[in-house]
Structure 1
């Protein structure tokens, strides 16, 4: 991800080295390509391979042959080696250093700033975005049903809360649900998808509620993992990327197959690059899935309908499962850009594709106008999945019992917003539009701000919640730093000047 748009105050960029009253600890994202001195970095969070070279020193070090380590069944040498390969800078070494700096400030250590602004994760509410009243009203009613007697709550909120509670065991969202999710909520999600896609049918049996979209993505990746050597499963992911994918593939011992977005063409996806990446990967693994993030994270591009059609044809020709990460589908800012769901485009292409191409689409309560990250609500819809595989998927999700039921309830309210004529409609629309307008304003603000700074260039932010600038790093700084991310994010933050 890039500079989160909800972290920008009008006229002030909270992703620069000094911001408002404080300093930002910045995490550059994975480089798209390093050529000469021009290195695209993302202002704020996520992941760069250089992080593997940064170690976090613990307070106490034990000798490998020491008495304490001999008593441990689980040591760094005997633990799962795949876990050690996982890199997830969202909560990695630089974030830990930011916490240390905060403690130092609290203890009175003098620094040239008074506050640390942590831009390491896309958490809108943590940065002051107000929750949508209607969403919180329904959840409050579900959590404490006694409030259903309170006349302060609108009737449309009560109606939705009663429907959710009636579907819960014992009438309580504190009870477990079905592993695939509460049935009436899956029905509501299916109807929401049908409205979004202009009437294209959606079967609730193909909806799986999840602990955010991340949990659903990892679950599908687990299904894909098989083979070894040249038959080892590879998954094609965009670079720059959201590091969930690289981290999950490392944990699952899958093969990360990079394809590069075209920065010079506003981070466009080119099928020629997909083919290059696929052919190269087939020399050492078996690519079985293609991940698309639309709108883009961290690059903020919105895929055109033609681009999506080309990707679907490519997946059909090469027999790849499509994974469509669409969690920013409401976040569209640029004129002429429109969100097209992969499912809608797939079905509009006719039976040749709609009956054959395997597609899994993901959505979340954490992004868009909602920003309800803490509820951990999300879902996936599977299309054209083999029935036997689908049964295995149901078995796999049942091992974890069920997603958080309050998160499921949040997904339901998002899927069934107030309609025109209902008591909450006007306030809901006003709040939703205000959030999206604010994010759009900040998208233009960050783009303009970056492009006024010598040595920094930023493509138009068409959608999502991040800006992704390219920074020209002087040769002398590169030689001095050796590892740019360490030099920039850690060394600078430690200065006492």
Structure 2
């Protein structure tokens, strides 16, 4: 099993990030390197690096790590006239759709705009009636008819009702608005539920959370923050990143000496691996969770992003319910977001969590927990409402909405195929088909000489590869060591989000670099 520290560290060097890097992370705000060095020893300070929460120090988040910081520096160098062998930086490190050029959906922005400035815009004939109707319905449920007012802690009631209808239509199973709470992106909902799993103990009495390897760094960062124990299970790269039950069993059996296993996290479609689980696989996972008495956490934020022929999205709730009484009463939390799908509205930080079958007393504690945070952004809640209640056939905005949605998903499908086929055409790179989500996680078969050079530099070899890629081509991707990978394997994660034309250019640059890198370390 990969050690927990090896997974949640960026692992770009054998040491923690240098103070200079974190000074840049802080944006250079009057916090010089000297100040950071001396503050730890300044006895006048109440809070120092030595006495602060050690679990916060252990947190890492690879998709915004030092390679990304260097990418920002290179962008500034290009602006100041520094000559590079490329004209711009292509950021393929994070699933930020609009930052890579995706256009906002007209209808979603219209509804949010109407909610924001109703006095003027409700009279504007350029806004369609269905957008005005939805905005007015949301505003009528807000205090003072304003999204500037706090909502209920769980979110605006009518939005939760729309979410429950969306889930009911999707799954063919009823959903209860009282099982739903709006959150600041799916990540906030995930942290809220994970917090309930903690035991409050240390050592082998800590709560353990099963997470896939490779995984999205939110999970290891949160586990580190909460002083929980990561129970790492490997996805099967040789079988399209499938989730194998014997591997789940191995992981939990080995972990019992170190923790009390509480929850099983499944990311479907996968991040960073881009796989889509079959219904049969989901059935087996649910049976495993039932046998091992685990709380299921289903990260389903990419449920609209399905590209591969024969692949379909099956929600864990739908499958669990269809499996009958023995399984339909299992505890499950599922998560959705405005940030992914065809919307890509990352900045609104809209999301929801549906939690079913909680013990009533635990549910009361969950409500207390979210009440302490008051409420998520009501503008983000309004954006979430459009996702679950889009224009319907016959409404004025339907045709434009459908055209924009189909265009985004069609281009993502085209780019998914382009990425996997191009990487597989390169010597010493293999890449599973991107079945869904927004990422590829190619395997780089690096040479012994490359591994030796990275060791000499004190770096992870995949990090060395990604640094050289950035410096030589301007392409910013994230080394696989930031997500976790089997020992002795090397990967990187790239998004498929740049425009078709930009992605073609990126892959051309990549091919040239890879060929020269392999020649250099042959």
The offset of 1:229, in angstroms, is 2.4
Match of 1:400 in 2: 373
Name the SS of the counterpart of 1:74 in structure 2: coil
Is the alpha carbon distance of 1:135 and 1:496 closer, same or farther for their aligned partners in structure 2, counting shifts above 3 Å? Answer: closer
The offset of 1:486, in angstroms, is 4.0
Aligned to 1:299, which of 269, 273, 278?
273
The offset of 1:232, in angstroms, is 1.1
Match of 1:244 in 2: 218
Aligned to 2:91, which of 112, 118, 128?
118
Match of 2:237 in 1: 263
Name the SS of the counterpart of 1:149 in structure 2: coil
Contact 1:155/1:423 (8 A) holds in 2 = yes
The offset of 1:66, in angstroms, is 7.8
Aligned to 1:55, which of 17, 30, 42?
17
Gaps of 5+ in 2: 21-31, 475-522
Match of 1:160 in 2: 134
Gaps of 5+ in 1: 1-29, 33-45
Name the SS of the counterpart of 2:34 in structure 1: coil
Matched, 1:283 2:272: no
Match of 1:214 in 2: 187
Aligned equivalents of 2:16, 2:228: Cα separation in 1: 23
Contact 1:333/1:461 (8 A) holds in 2 = yes
Residues 281-340 of structure 1 deviation map (CA, whole Å, 9 limit, x = unaligned): 012111110000000111111111111111111111110000000000010001111000
Residues 473-492 of structure 1 deviation map (CA, whole Å, 9 limit, x = unaligned): 11001101122144223356
Is the alpha carbon distance of 1:492 and 1:128 closer, same or farther for their aligned partners in structure 2, counting shifts above 3 Å? Answer: closer
The offset of 1:95, in angstroms, is 1.4
Match of 1:75 in 2: 48
Contact 2:40/2:48 (8 A) holds in 1 = no
The offset of 1:367, in angstroms, is 0.3
Match of 1:225 in 2: 198
The offset of 1:447, in angstroms, is 0.7
Contact 2:40/2:49 (8 A) holds in 1 = no
The offset of 1:112, in angstroms, is 1.8
The offset of 1:52, in angstroms, is 6.6
The offset of 1:212, in angstroms, is 0.3
Aligned to 1:100, which of 73, 78, 86?
73
Give the length in aligned residue pairs: 453
Greater helix percent: which structure? 2
Aligned equivalents of 2:109, 2:39: Cα separation in 1: 53
Aligned equivalents of 1:298, 1:254: Cα separation in 2: 22
TM-score normalized by structure 1? 0.88
Contact 2:19/2:36 (8 A) holds in 1 = no
The offset of 1:433, in angstroms, is 0.8
The offset of 1:495, in angstroms, is 6.7
RMSD of aligned residue pairs (Cα, Å): 2.1
Contact 2:212/2:233 (8 A) holds in 1 = yes
Contact 1:51/1:89 (8 A) holds in 2 = no
Residues 55-84 of structure 1 deviation map (CA, whole Å, 9 limit, x = unaligned): 233242359778972222211111110011
Is the alpha carbon distance of 1:420 and 1:286 closer, same or farther for their aligned partners in structure 2, counting shifts above 3 Å? Answer: same
Aligned equivalents of 1:472, 1:486: Cα separation in 2: 14
Match of 1:331 in 2: 305
Residues 411-433 of structure 1 deviation map (CA, whole Å, 9 limit, x = unaligned): 11111111111111111111111
Match of 1:488 in 2: 465
Is the alpha carbon distance of 1:384 and 1:156 closer, same or farther for their aligned partners in structure 2, counting shifts above 3 Å? Answer: same
Match of 2:121 in 1: 147
Contact 2:105/2:343 (8 A) holds in 1 = yes
Residues 135-179 of structure 1 deviation map (CA, whole Å, 9 limit, x = unaligned): 111111111102111111111111100000001111111111111
Contact 2:40/2:50 (8 A) holds in 1 = no
Contact 2:10/2:65 (8 A) holds in 1 = no
